[in-house]
Amino acid sequence: MKAVVQDRYGRPDVLHVEDVEAPVPGDDEVLVRVRAATVTQTDTHARAAYPFLWRFYAGLRRPRWRTLGIEFAGEVEAVGAAVTQFNVGDRVFGGPRTFGTHAELICVPDDGPIVRMPAGLSFEEAAAVTDGATQALATLRGANVQARQHVVIYGASGSLGTAAVQIAHHMGAHVTAVCGTDHVDLVRSLGADEVVDYRQEDFTERGHTYDAIIDAVGKYSFVKGRRALKPHGVYIATDGGRFLLTTLLFAVATRIAGGRRVKGSLGRRSKEDLELVRDMIETGAYRPVIDRRYRMDEVADAHRYVETWHKAGNVVLTIAPDPTPA
């Protein structure tokens, strides 16, 4: 099968398409023929081993996972002997426990984060659901967001941001979305009650206070944001890059000191969360936002675009076109 591989860390040029051995499903695994995947910030961090801490997880000297990609949509190609939940031909989406979706085939545990696709969604749309939505659920739960609370989603136009705006709105929260000029209409269409253009205005200078601030893009800071938090408000940082250590320090310090808190967020994907989001999609409460699509052999260009930090929603990597498009 064909897969995007890398044998060393570095710039996007380290990625290339290669013929590799196809995976064979274990007894409790589902073999999925991947139709579409995405290129995420997690993929770019893992490709470049940035920040350096990544190497302790992903391989000190060279990448432990040759093939990146953390979400997929495709068709079940085969199932292991003990699989009960899926049949050959089912259209499914989800994510592996680690990496590997930038390939024509991938094995996923039957009880892992994989579910049937909602009706009416293309493979490309379904591929762009898992990472943003499950991470958004984790951040909103981390902040214990409740109906009628006032929540800021900072960086509302990215993958995590577009998911967080829609889910917070669905939870009944009052959503103030902060994004750039070009994305104001998009973010409003996703359910934001108020939209602040960060290029024109700093939301903390509006004189409002909020129950939670979700920094969905890792470009703001608790030090600036804290004045806009209510006394027991929560600031959720999501950045896995340059602010990682600062976030950890503030998280420990504010936990000890009490009052306004900083928390990090590590989303754990589950089948239950994917079912929840699928229900939201089927009732029209959620839609994956897609910016650009790239072919598998254009993967380096996709990484370069993601690294601009200006994508709106998600960047899709088309692995194989849908033979029977809806």
Ligand X SMILES: NC(=O)c1ccc[n+]([C@@H]2O[C@H](COP(=O)([O-])OP(=O)(O)OC[C@H]3O[C@@H](n4cnc5c(N)ncnc54)[C@H](OP(=O)(O)O)[C@@H]3O)[C@@H](O)[C@H]2O)c1
Which DSSP category does 226 fall into? G
The token pair at 98 is 């680690």
> CB-wise, 57 or 309, nearer to ligand X?
309
Question: Minimum Å distance from CB 89 to ligand X?
Answer: 29
Question: Minimum Å distance from CB 283 to ligand X?
Answer: 22
> CB-wise, 33 or 219, nearer to ligand X?
219
- Which residue, chain included where needed, has tokens 């939209």? 195
Question: Minimum Å distance from CB 50 to ligand X?
Answer: 10
> CB-wise, 25 or 288, nearer to ligand X?
288
Question: Minimum Å distance from CB 151 to ligand X?
Answer: 16
Q: 3-class secondary structure for 253-293?
A: HHHHHCCCEEEECCCCCCHHHHHHHHHHHHCCCCCCCEEEE
> How far is residue 43's CA from residue 5's CA, in Å, rounded to a whole number?
12
| 153, β-bridge pairs | 177, 214
Which DSSP category does 103 fall into? B
DSSP H helices, 92-180, are 123-127, 130-142, 159-170
Question: Minimum Å distance from CB 229 to ligand X?
Answer: 18
- Which residue, chain included where needed, has tokens 């703001």? 220
The token pair at 286 is 């959620």
What count of residues does the chain have? 326
> CB-wise, 117 or 216, nearer to ligand X?
216
> CB-wise, 31 or 39, nearer to ligand X?
39
Three-state SS at 45: helix
Which DSSP category does 181 fall into? G
124 and 318 Cβ atoms separated by less than 8 Å: yes
75 and 90 Cβ atoms separated by less than 8 Å: yes
Question: Minimum Å distance from CB 290 to ligand X?
Answer: 11
> CB-wise, 26 or 241, nearer to ligand X?
241
The residues of the shown chain that bind ligand X, judged by CB under 6 A, are: 40-42, 131-132, 135, 155, 157-161, 178-180, 182-183, 198, 216-219, 238-241, 306, 309-312
Question: Minimum Å distance from CB 14 to ligand X?
Answer: 19
**Which residue has its beta carbon closest to ligand X?**
180
> CB-wise, 232 or 310, nearer to ligand X?
310
